[in-house]
Chains A and B, each alone.
Chain A
């Protein structure tokens, strides 16, 4: 069994109070993710990528199927000790609007149970690592999109997670900010041997960062493999062409 195993995961959203509308998001997803790899989840808008990540962090319950992490079944609930080992960074992040970058990091450090002295050290280290010194005392609602993203990434590492989920971490960023974020992700991978699950629409980003990737469409996994395996499967030259090929067929 691999480090993260998702077996036959199904999810349907039901909306509307009187007239119930059903939207099928995942249709029996099976996925295995190895320990220490960067795994990409690729697919068009509405394919089910974010739904899958939210099931992985237990903020969304699947209708059926099983989620196994490190050979333990966490389908219904993460125990507290396991929540300490996982974190997530989303594109367009949201944090308490009137707290400064430093206060946000301090708040979340405390939520992860860091003692006061450890908390101070951890916040200082994060601010330095993500070059947030200039913005440490700036309120969240006054930060630019790129800085918010760096802050979100800093927050996601406060608990030294064993599993890090990155949901479109460079969405809406200019090229310079995107490159910066990608460099930071590479640094994180180099310095800490953590398992990263990444969703992205940017195929170059996936090529640059991911060891393996899965292509998801209409809630189903169509293909899984390394970049070369995916290219060979579709007889295409790069992931962008693979994406177009799989998305259209």
Chain B
């Protein structure tokens, strides 16, 4: 078997053990997404927003759940080692950023898929929510997990650059991104400056694309192409930035401080 695949599997295996043994991992895929979808669904029903707008809101809650769970796993790829003080041991082995990022991401996709299935079924049962055609769902979900990869890699970059004191970005950065890309409202509702900022976030395009399935007209054009192209640019850039942060951490001793 290819050596790289074995190493990627190693990080999937480690994230699986952590997910199995820690209660916070259980809360991440069951409790918080369930609370989110119930709150949003009930609020929409209470405000009597109509089925189309309710679908808009529930889409936001579902995407938020998938994005958060998947990006957390990518962030955990580094953070588990930082919290365990075992970063030096891991980087001593012949691994590079690609191995722990991709291994954690694949495991995150599995957890994100569980969240998606759970929330989609629950929304259908409780709020008569129906998914758009399969292709739209598939492309949008692919976009969401790519966005999660970008957010998780950004968190890892921040941790390798600034140290453990910044690990709170693992939970806050994704919220900020969701706020900008119109998770519960159309992007056009934002002030002009923030619309420009939203146009640089791939998730904006995937959210809009998903909502076209419910008949909403998008703010931007070429949603899928722009979403995937932007994602690829960010992923390449972040692999470069991660290597830069790692080299800097080896120079200033941060790798050792994160291991003591």
Contact = CB atoms under 8 A, between A and B. Distances in A.
A and B from one complex: yes
Contacts of A116: 1, 6
A88 B86 contact: no
Contacts of A217: none
Given A54-B256, A87-B92, A111-B95, A95 B86 contact: yes
Contacts of A14: 252
Interface string A10-54: 000110000000000000000000000000000000000000001
Contact of A59 (B1, B10, B88, B94): B88
Interface stretch (A97-105, A176-184, A220-228): A97-105
Contacts of A98: 17-18, 21-22
Contacts of A103: 17
Interface in B197-254: 247, 250-253
A107 B256 contact: no
A202 interface: no
A112 B95 CA distance: 8
Give the contact-size bracket for chain A: 35 or more
A74 interface: no
B167 interface: no
A167 to B, nearest CB: 10
A99 B255 contact: no
A212 interface: no
Contact of A60 (B10, B80, B255): B255
Interface string A78-115: 00110110111010011111110001001110111111
A150 interface: no
B14 A96 contact: yes
A112 B99 CA distance: 12
A113 B13 contact: no
Which residue among A54, A87, A96, A114 has the maximum number of chain B CB atoms within 10 Å of its CB?
A: A96
B94 A84 contact: yes
Given A60-B255, A111-B95, A112-B93, A94 B10 contact: no
Given A83-B92, A111-B94, A116-B1, A99 B17 contact: yes
A113 B94 contact: yes
A111 B253 contact: no
Contact of A111 (B7, B83, B250, B259): B7
Interface in A106-131: 106-108, 110-116
Given A54-B256, A59-B250, A95 B84 contact: yes
A106 B18 CA distance: 14
B253 A60 contact: yes
Nearest to A92: B260
Contacts of B84: 94-97
A93 B89 CA distance: 9
Contacts of B6: 110, 113-116
A59 B86 contact: no
Given A83-B92, A111-B93, A113-B94, A94 B86 contact: yes
17 contacts: A13-B252, A58-B250, A59-B92, A59-B255, A60-B253, A60-B256, A80-B94, A88-B89, A90-B88, A93-B89, A94-B259, A95-B89, A97-B83, A97-B84, A106-B13, A110-B7, A113-B3
User: Ordered nearest first, which 3 A-B pairs have the shortest CB separation?
Assistant: A110-B10, A94-B85, A83-B94
Given A88-B89, A96-B84, A111-B94, 16 more contacts: A54-B88, A59-B256, A60-B255, A61-B250, A80-B94, A83-B92, A86-B92, A87-B92, A98-B17, A98-B22, A99-B14, A108-B89, A113-B7, A115-B1, A116-B1, A159-B93
Interface of B: 1, 3, 6-7, 9-10, 13-14, 17-18, 21-22, 80-81, 83-86, 88-96, 99, 247, 250-253, 255-256, 259
